[in-house]
Structure 1
Amino acid sequence: MTVGRICTRETDLVDADESVQVAAERMNARNVGTLIVLDQESHPVGLITDRDLALRIVGKGRDPIQTLVGEIMTQFPYHVSEETPIETALSKMRSGGFRRLPVVDADEKLVGVLSLDDILELLCSEFTEIGNLIRKESPRSLAHP
């Protein structure tokens, strides 16, 4: 299965020249933990997370109104193609310590975001189906038609 089948297609954006305060308010209003920064061609050039706000702003006593997103965002984040196998994306997340990855199309334009939550939901669904199959084919269920 590919990343494009499970990623979140509705992404929330922020401009690099917006204040961190605006970014935090947008995250709060939309109940998200990541905002993506795009260039003029819709390529992901940065991202900012709620963790960035905690560590790079609050943790360092910086002014969120005076600090711009471009000053603290993760620049040129790793990304994956929507055709990337989920196992490959998970390996990239694990090795890089990423909880989220931008997902791009063949032109490297943003089409979504893959999160660990997306992968966990898939795994939970798959394990539930396996559990149902095991119960259905167990000796006890086969003995009582």
Structure 2
Amino acid sequence: MNTGTICTRNVITCQAETSALDAAKLMRNHHVGELAVVTDAGPGHRPVGVVTNRDIVVSVLARELDPGTLWVADIMSSPAITAFDWEDAWHVLRRMRLNGVRRMPVMSDTDELIGIVMLDDMMGVVSELLSELCLVSQRQRPFEEKART
């Protein structure tokens, strides 16, 4: 299964000059845990980095800094670790593990931001696969019984 079929297509973006406070508000308003940081806000742009809710907590709040005075550029992870929509989900999952990320922006062949794939998306795919595996052994017995009668 390729990443493009399992990613979330509605990506919330911000710019590097967005304040950490405004980034947190964007995350809250859109119920997301990550923003793709782009040079020009909007879909179809290549991310230059990513900022997560954890980045804001660890880099701003835990250090008792004013989130209104820090830019996303000060706390974002850069460069963004991305996946292509045609890539196999298992390869992307391996890259997520190797890079210690739970979410990855998904790019088209034309290098445009088209989605975001999350660890939850991957768990859903793995769950479906495991369910199918369970059904194989359940179906085997009826076929075997029918063949022997």
TM-score (norm 2): 0.88
Give the distance between the partners of 1:98 and 1:6, measured in 2 at CA: 17
Contact 1:136–1:142 (CA<8 Å) still a contact in 2? no
By how many angstroms is 1:132 displaced? 2.3
**Which residue of structure 1 lines up, in the alignment, with residue 39 of structure 2?**
39
By how many angstroms is 1:79 displaced? 0.8
**Which residue of structure 2 lines up, in the alignment, with residue 53 of structure 1?**
56
Q: Give the alignment of 1:127-142 within 5 angstroms.
A: 127-138=130-141, 142=145
Of 99, 102, 116 in structure 2, the residue corresponding to residue 99 of structure 1 is 102
Q: CA RMSD in A?
A: 1.9
Is residue 116 of structure 1 aligned with residue 136 of structure 2?
A: no
**Which residue of structure 1 lines up, in the alignment, with residue 3 of structure 2?**
3
**Which residue of structure 2 lines up, in the alignment, with residue 15 of structure 1?**
15
User: In percent, how many aligned pairs have the same letter?
Assistant: 29
By how many angstroms is 1:39 displaced? 2.1
> After superposition, what is the alpha-carbon deviation per residue over 1:110-135, rounded to whole angstroms, capped at 9, x for unaligned?
01111111110011111112222322
Contact 2:16–2:39 (CA<8 Å) still a contact in 1? no
By how many angstroms is 1:24 displaced? 0.7
Gaps of 5+ in 2: none
Gaps of 5+ in 1: none
Alignment: residue pair count: 143
